A and B are shown apart, each in its own frame.
Chain A
Amino acid sequence: MADFETQIRESQEQVAAAQAKIADITGRIETARAKIDQGEPAIDIENATLEDVHKHTDLMNANIAELIMGLDDVTAGFSKDFDEMRSKTGMESVIGFFSSAKSESMRQERLRGASIDDKLQDLIGKSDVIVKLLQGQLDVLTTQRTRVEGNLTGTLEEREATVSALEAVRAEVAAMDPKIIELENKISVEQDAAARTKLETELAALNTRFNALVQDEQVKLAKSQTLERYIEKGKTWVDSLQNQAATQMVLINKLQTDTKQRVVLYDALTASLKTAQQQDVAHRINEIGVKTDQEAQSAMAGIGAATNQRMADMLEAHEDHMVFARQILEQKAKADERFARRFAKIVEKHDKNEYGA
């Protein structure tokens, strides 16, 4: 089946391409992560690339689904075999025109030699190839998912840390405000130059600190936003990987179930075709020439069996008789007893003249 082979090769290429793309995206996510660590907020996994991967995997899955359907071509080969077992070949029909017995015996001979075992093996082998293909893809998807997930967990923790640092900075900034105002008020009412200069120096220091904190807040905010976007992308990617893995599992499951059921079904059909047509013939053949004595034997056996049967019947009937007789005796005994009891009362009443008492 050249067609199937080409299709397999095509699918293998597509799977390889899809795997490269998937690994590429995961790689990019990881690079982005590294860059964030270095303080370069660069995210270059755009939705476009994700879309691209999705499109490609869809194509690949469609192709593999087609491949699974393509197994039907293999199965179509079976139905041809089954038809051949049922019907006569051209040659047999021609011979059947002259001698139906010869034609039938030719067909029997052909049927005896027929076997679909190699085809079954072929079916199993092919479905195995597809399963391996799907499994390879599934493995890639799973490893990528674990990698991205691990990455994501780390990033989430980092974002949490960043956010709490941001909060701390903000709190500090908020706490500085009243101090600065207080200092400015002090400066505005201070008369002594020396004291004023000292206060101004203090204010300047405070302002520097304030500006530094504000800048820090901005940096932290930017980092938090970057991480947030990164997390969103990562989540989308994990989600997509999970969906793809689910598709693969469904395909594998369907394929395995189908193949299992088919093997059983085809095998059962062949066996029943062969057995039904051969058993009867064999028994007839064995009786060539032995018909007479076999008949005699079976007649004798029949007589023997009949005698035994009669004996058994008699014995069984005897048992029945015995049981019946005993039942009757028992019933009679009971009736006698009952009668005796009732009668005894009457006699007693009669003897004591207690009627109506």
Chain B
Amino acid sequence: MVTTPLADDHADLTDTLVVRRYFAKMDRIMGHLGRVTTEMEGQGQLSRLESRVLKGYVGRLSATLSALSLKYMMTGRVEGPVPGHPTFDRHESGFPIAQELMVMANDAVQAEAHLSGMASETELKDRMVREIVGGLSIPSKLQYALSQRLYYERLAELALPTVNGLFLARNDPDAQWISEDRGRRRYLLHWAVYDHQINLPVIYLMEVDDSGHDPLPRSNTRWPAVRAHLMAQSLSGLKLLTIATGFDADFADLHPKRLRRIHLGPMYSHSYTLQSGPISDVLANANAPAGEDWALVWTVEDLISDRVEEVKAGWFSTVERQIFTLDPFGGRGAETGATRTERMIILPERPFQVLAEMNPPGFGDVRKFVVGTGGQLISQR
């Protein structure tokens, strides 16, 4: 068998209750992310359009996770290898591994075929009642069949092109028109990937000036190439500067003005994930009950174009080349390849209390969003 140490931090969840608690936790966290976006919009860090785009991705992520929770509803209750168990990355991620999403994409394509061969929900329930009353036994097999039916139904519903509600391993770029100025159109390109290396959802927002002949989203020659290029460049290992300069160099009439990358995660939890450093102590000391034992880090990297220079391309023509602002005095700019990097942490009251008491170094400049009882969000510096 092929084995690589790269998958060492992948952990299987095999117990029914553990699996359900995991998905319930993720569901709750996803619910808070939408509020965080609203909060950031209120503070002027995101425009209305960007906030809407982000919420779209968060909603899709949430739908994907809830579909997975249906798929693995009966884990540990039915024997055999195929109901299977969810695998998640327990180190610096806390999210399901990327392969789960890739398998789900395959399932979504075949959802209709699966559904056509399955008994309907009422029929399954009817048979369950019969087995309970007649056979005096727990209808695990039927429950499993129903969970799969619900899973495929959800997938079929979400995968419709009009809904497009699944967060897949790759979510191809989409363009939103922002403004037009002297023949130059400005678009917000947004796309998202589920990074295979770190197993985290990553959202990209790029503001780009289009000096081309026809509008970018309707250009048959440029748009497909742009999409393919951006998808192939969406690796967490690449710095923003690398992505932006590469894009600038490969498309002469597109000028990236601002590129943002948002990592949604990692999610830390004392009972699920392995972590080192202060956050580990904070969660351990919080001793929080189920449902409050988590902290989600949200990182925004931002790269802004500083100015434009004309560079010769060949003998007779010149092209614009963006020079991006790196912050040499920040001491970290050149290293991160971004103009600035902001980290935020979202956590429930109890872990926050411990965090505030322990006041570990390194958390001073991290924005904290505290989730209070009833779900309201308090922003703390």
Contacts and interface: CB of A to CB of B under 8 A. Distances in A.
A264 B100 CA distance: 12
A261 B229 contact: no
A271 B329 contact: no
Contacts of A252: 81-82
Contacts, number: 141
Interface in B233-253: 233, 235, 237-239, 241-242, 245-246, 249-250
Given A128-B103, A275-B237, A114 B309 contact: no
Interface in A132-184: 132, 135, 138-139, 142
B232 A112 contact: yes
Contacts of B196: 120, 263-264, 267-268, 271
Contacts of B29: none
Contact of B246 (A125, A264, A282, A289): A282
A338 B241 CA distance: 69
A121 B238 contact: no
Contacts of A142: 80
B231 A117 contact: yes
B102 interface: yes
A120 B237 contact: no
Given A275-B235, A289-B309, A301 B102 contact: no
A144 to B, nearest CB: 14
A263 B102 contact: yes
B207 to A, nearest CB: 18
B231 A112 contact: no
B242 A297 contact: no
A73 interface: no
Interface in B304-345: 309, 311, 321, 323-324, 326, 328-329, 331, 334, 337
A97 B276 CA distance: 52
Contacts of A254: 1
Given A124-B103, A139-B80, A274-B238, 10 more contacts: A115-B231, A117-B169, A117-B231, A121-B106, A125-B106, A128-B103, A260-B87, A272-B237, A279-B242, A282-B245
20 contacts: A112-B229, A112-B232, A124-B99, A138-B81, A262-B2, A264-B4, A267-B197, A268-B6, A268-B196, A271-B196, A271-B235, A271-B237, A275-B237, A278-B238, A282-B337, A285-B321, A288-B311, A289-B323, A301-B329, A304-B329
